[in-house]
Structure 1
Amino acid sequence: MSKDIHPVDNYCRSYWMSNPDKLAHYRSTVDLPLHSDIVIIGSGYSGSACAYYLYKYGQSNKNPLMITMVEARETCSGATGRNGGHLKPDVYYSYKRYSEKYGREIAESLMQFEAKHIQAMSALISEENIQCDWEVTRSCDAYINHELAEEAKASFQQRCVDGADVDDIHEIPSDDLLAITKVKNVVYGITFTAASIHPYKLIHHLLNKCIEQGMNLQTNTFVLNATRLPSGQWSIVTSRGTIHTSKVIFATNAYTAGILPLFNNKIVPVRGTICRILPSLRYQQSPLKMTYSIRIKESHFDYMIARQTGDRSIILGGAKSAHLSETKIWYNNCDDSMEFINEKSKNYFEEFMPKYFDGWGTDDGGCQEFWTGILGYSSDLLPFVGELPDQSNGYIIAGFNGHGMPRILLCARALVDVILGRTKNIEELIPEPYVITRSRLATKENCILKHMGVHVGPIETDERTA
């Protein structure tokens, strides 16, 4: 494993992780297995979903699968256990950009694929009776900036003109903007179906089920390197020994390049920050029902969910304007030991609700806790999914750009179909631009900083990760 890109030991804890599951530091066996049919590296959403579908479609009494999952720290302590609990598909915002880059047909497939995740997740949760605070609702994109609003309208209208089914997408009448969104100074609003979830509970339910079916889980087990041998087997060298396996799944997201050097500058760790806010008295009595993205200026938006259980905490992420100019503290940075990226980010969160939400008040409610997480951003802003080129039986599902909740489940199911031989063509199951190819790996362009709204020049890196 590269010394530059790896999970840190002294990570902070997110709100979701405040009550550790029994599997947090679990090891199915005292010693690491020497051999396994399949090794999955990573215990987050991608790894857990792959394990779930491997057992669902590949297990048999005659030929039970031997699956080993290795996790560098405790279970679900990476991006999944630190995210915003927001399953919000992109159903219009990127359509125009995708259409210009990939064509209308592929752009539409990208929109539809994300939208399908609401129904797919609902079905999974119902089938497995998962208690994870799943709440299907509406999401509201509230625009504060006129120029951004016009760009959003153009993208939505382009999808309409191209003949898409947009019945679920509603533009809010201008006279009703404040009443419906509750956002001050809003100039444009659009809503569509989305959901909120307790990601930690979801993942641990899936992991428990997989362990019941025979999976060997090994936490606190760093993967140092992974090599395909001349025999076709893979050698997975860890901090506790070596496993040989027929197939390996890299569900490693931000940390992928630390194990697979071909992903250097293709998947980059990006540090983000989130907080939990206790609603003010008024908003306790009349809670927010929608999830939100507050779009303030180019490349700067904040996202939030209002939990409908317990104290109805609000989970708010973003604060990009408070730290983006200091690239070294967030770009190519794997340090999630700090509760917030910098003091400006903390102040931004503390001022956010009274600044943007009508009637919030300043004497009650407020930030209760903060945490950071490491997102895996890909150079072309789309995930890498499929079999590694020229490295047979090595598979990747990573690089979700902080937008994995409406992408991962069906990507995992598709990847498992390939691994089990249920299909030969993964591009028939997922959008074509997601598929890992030699040409994607060979492309030199890196769109991450431009996408973030940062002037592209020499990039400083934090000494802790350089």
Structure 2
Amino acid sequence: MSRDIRPVDNYCRSYWMSNPDKLANYRSTVDLPLHSDIVIIGSGYSGSACAYYLYKYGQSNKNPLMITMIEARETCSGATGRNGGHLKPDVYYSYKRYSEKYGCQMAESLMQFEAKHIQAMSALISEENIECNWEITRACDAYLNPELAEKAKASFQQRCADGGDVDDIHEIPLDDLLTVTKMKNVVYGITFTAASIHPYKLIHHLLYKCIEQGMNLQTNTPVLTATRLPSGQWSIVTPRGTIHASKVIFATNAYTAGILPLFNNKIVPIRGTICRILPSLRYQQSPLTMTYSIRIKDNQFDYMIARQTGDRSIILGGAKPAHLSETELWYNNWDDSIEFNNEKSKNYFEEFMPKHFDAWGTDDGGCQEFWTGILGYSSDLLPFVGELPDQSNGYVIAGFHGHGMPRILLCARALVDVILGKTNNIEELIPEPYVITKSRLETKENYILKHMGANLEPVDIDERTA
């Protein structure tokens, strides 16, 4: 089954991809190189960030790096080019769960690691002068369910009680909920620093930078197999030929198991759906300034950014209540050729803004586009980052569980330090639960369905995909 997990050819286009970049179908050379120092598989956020840091910290005039990036389709046509443009760290919601599993010190480390990405991304954008509609703002978690609100409060209060860094997290006074959130029926609200971004523009800026420094980009080149040879070299087979590499980075997220079978049932493709909404005149003239997570049930939420440029489009993703019960529509599903998971999802999005936002009006432009994207969900809910056990010089940065924007940049920076030999201890640079280990790869438990609210018990997905 894992061998079938490959990007489909007839993919739909996201709003971000509506004006394809000149690099979309670019090939640096007519033929695939025969050899490269490092091959990066994947041109999304993970692959581009790794390439950027490899050139920044590993390039020298005496020993120029030979890096080849291989992309199955157009550049940035996977999850990064289809996401919600939302860099929102988890600074309280999962704290209690993390604390129970890993202890309060590691739970705090997991929270702080994500929060650091706001500053890290700001520094990158400033240093490289990247035009990508970067807007630092406040995230608003708006709770519509009293029971879930109490659970969220308990997690936040536990982080407070444990002495966590919570200065940036503000609970909205009950009497101010409507004024602050502009939403109806909110029973609890909490805000903290987050950001919105045009992910497609960000990635292409990084790709241009890397190509200028010598990277060979090969689009529309799907990888069929990647094998470590007895010599220690890696052999990467594509329909256009075979390339050998001293090191290979699998920045393949949801498609990782299609190339590396040991990730079968460890990283599962999950199909999500998003839309772009043209706001009503009132909300164009006085646009929403916060990003949102509208929390309905445990781990069922809709996420939203209001773009601060142009027509003030709203990017809205989620619609889980409309399709969660039809597991086959989204679980272990990597077909992003369709625009929405089902008709109920489409209707859910079309009704969302007037249903939840105060005085929305009837003069909105409605949903302008719908699209799907394939997320890489990990069976234990955390990313896989590091060198492959027993397969030296093979590195993975994948399985970001639909939450890569506040995790990937510093993971890429850490992985590059390992690849360049600057450290042997990646767990000193990223949270230890992210690190690839034999025990993580060998465990049979899969918590994805339970986490999504689609099943009450952990599932061994060997049984689902046999």
> Residue 437 of structure 1 corresponds to which residue in structure 2?
437
Q: How does 1:93-242 map to 2 (within 5 A)?
A: 93-242=93-242
Deviation readout 1:103-153 (Å, 9 max, x if unpaired): 001000000000000000000000000000000000000001000000000
What is aligned with 1:38? 38
How many Å apart are 1:459 and its aligned residue?
Answer: 9.9
Aligned AA for 1:179?
T
Is the 8 Å Cα contact of residues 388 and 394 (structure 1) preserved in structure 2? yes
Instruction: Give the deviation of 1:2 after TM superposition.
Output: 4.7
Structure 1 counterpart SS, 2:73: coil
1:315-356 per-residue CA deviation (whole Å, 9 max, x = no partner) reads: 000000111111111100010000111100000000000000
Corresponding position of 1:392 = 392
Does structure 2 conserve the Cα–Cα contact (< 8 Å) formed by 1:38 and 1:248? Answer: yes
Q: How far apart are residue 456 of structure 1 and its match?
A: 5.4
Q: Deviations over 1:398-423 (max 9, x none)?
A: 00000000000000000000000111
Instruction: Report what 1:409 is aligned to.
Output: 409
Q: Please give the root-mean-square deviation of Cα atoms over the aligned residues, in Å.
A: 1.6
- Structure 2 Cα separation of the partners of residues 459 and 432 of structure 1: 24
Q: 1:165 to 1:248 in 2, by over 3 A?
A: same
For residue 367 of structure 1, give the secondary structure of its aligned residue in structure 2. Answer: strand
Contact conserved, 2:6 with 2:334, CA < 8 A, in 1? yes
Distance 1:36 1:175 in 2: 61
Cα distance in 1 between the residues matched to 2:315 and 2:460: 30
Deviation at residue 19 of structure 1 after TM alignment: 0.6
Q: Which residue in the other structure is 1:270 paired with?
A: 270
Distance 2:353 2:384 in 1: 36
1:379 matched to which residue of 2? 379
Question: 1:253, 1:399 within 8 Å by CA — same for their partners in 2?
Answer: yes
In 1, Cα distance between the equivalents of 2:294 and 2:415?
34
Equivalent position of 1:70 in the other structure: 70
Q: Distance in 2 between matches of 1:460 and 1:88?
A: 29
Percent identical among aligned pairs is 88
How far apart, in 2, do the equivalents of 1:24 and 1:338 lie? 20
Q: Shift of residue 361 of structure 1? A: 1.8
Question: Does the CA contact (< 8 Å) of 1:328 and 1:459 recur in 2?
Answer: no
Task: Name stretches of at least 5 consecutive residues in structure 2 with no aligned partner.
Answer: none
Equivalent residue pairs, number? 464
Q: Report the counterpart of residue 337 of structure 1 in structure 2.
A: 337
CA apart distance, 1:199: 0.1
Cα contact 2:446–2:461 (8 A) shared by 1 = no
Instruction: Kindly indicate whether the alpha-carbon contact (under 8 Å) linking 2:44 and 2:81 is maintained by their aligned counterparts in 1.
Output: yes
Alpha-carbon deviation of 1:364?
2.5
Q: CA–CA distance in 2 between the matches of 1:346 and 1:379? A: 28
Once residues 248 and 394 of structure 2 are traced to their aligned partners in structure 1, the CA distance between those partners, rounded to angstroms, is 5
* Counterpart in the other structure of 2:423: 423
Please tell me whether the aligned partners of residues 3 and 261 of structure 2 are also in contact (alpha carbons under 8 angstroms): no
Letter in 1 for 2:304: M
8 Å contact 2:340–2:371 — kept in the other structure? yes
State the Cα deviation string for residues 193-244 of structure 1 (Å, max 9, x = none): 0000000000000000000000000000010000000000000011110001
Whether the 8 Å CA contact 2:5–2:334 is kept in 1: the answer is yes
TM-score for both structures, normalised by structure 1:
0.98
Match of 2:90 in 1: 90
Q: Which runs of 4+ in 1 moved over 6 A?
A: 457-461
CA contact (8 A) 1:327 1:459 kept: no
Residue 314 of structure 2: aligned partner: 314
Task: Identify which range, 297-306 or 67-76, moves more after superposition.
Answer: 297-306
| Offset, 1:3 | 4.3
Q: Is the 8 A contact 1:328 1:460 kept in 2?
A: no
The answer to whether the 8 Å contact 2:281/2:363 transfers is no
> Which whole-Å CA distance do the structure 1 matches of 2:299 and 2:92 have between them?
16
